[in-house]
A = this chain, B = another copy of it.
Amino acid sequence: MRSDCPVSYALDFFGDKWTFLIVRDLVEGKKFYKDFLNSKEGIATNILSDRLKKLERNGIVESKVYEKLKTQKEYALTEKGKDLIPLLIEMMVWSDKHHTGLAVNPDFIRRANTSREELISAIRLRLD
């Protein structure tokens, strides 16, 4: 930790190009190592492995053996992880507003701007 500033604290976790993309994938419902690996940004296996461990160590993600296929691990967001949904939404809203051509659902942005809390709840529910 570089300082007691809350922004700095958050950046100590997410101040890199990959960690938050895994959170995004989890919010989108992805659960398995191979799903994260196949995301279009193309994360390297060592980075993915490292970040999953870091996320788990810090209580943002938890994993368990996938019952239906025991060779796979199933990853999920903890409550601390789900509390990142608002941050994710703000990132999407900002990017959409200031850059054209991004893959953003207009309805999503509308809901973020008009019924924010409801949108957050809906996303949370989907994850349970």
Contact = CB atoms under 8 A, between A and B. Distances in A.
A33 B98 CA distance: 26
A102 to B, nearest CB: 5
A17 B103 CA distance: 26
Contacts of A11: 17, 20-21, 91
A4 B95 CA distance: 10
Interface stretch (A49-57, A64-72, A78-86): A78-86
A5 B102 contact: yes
A102 B15 CA distance: 18
B5 A40 contact: yes
User: Interface of chain A, helix or strand or loop or mixed?
Assistant: helix
Interface string A6-42: 1111111001111011001000000000000000111
Contacts of A41: 2-3, 5, 8
Contacts of A10: 91-92, 94-95
Contacts of A84: 94
A21 to B, nearest CB: 6
Interface of A: 2-12, 15-18, 20-21, 24, 40-42, 59, 80, 83-84, 86-88, 90-99, 101-104
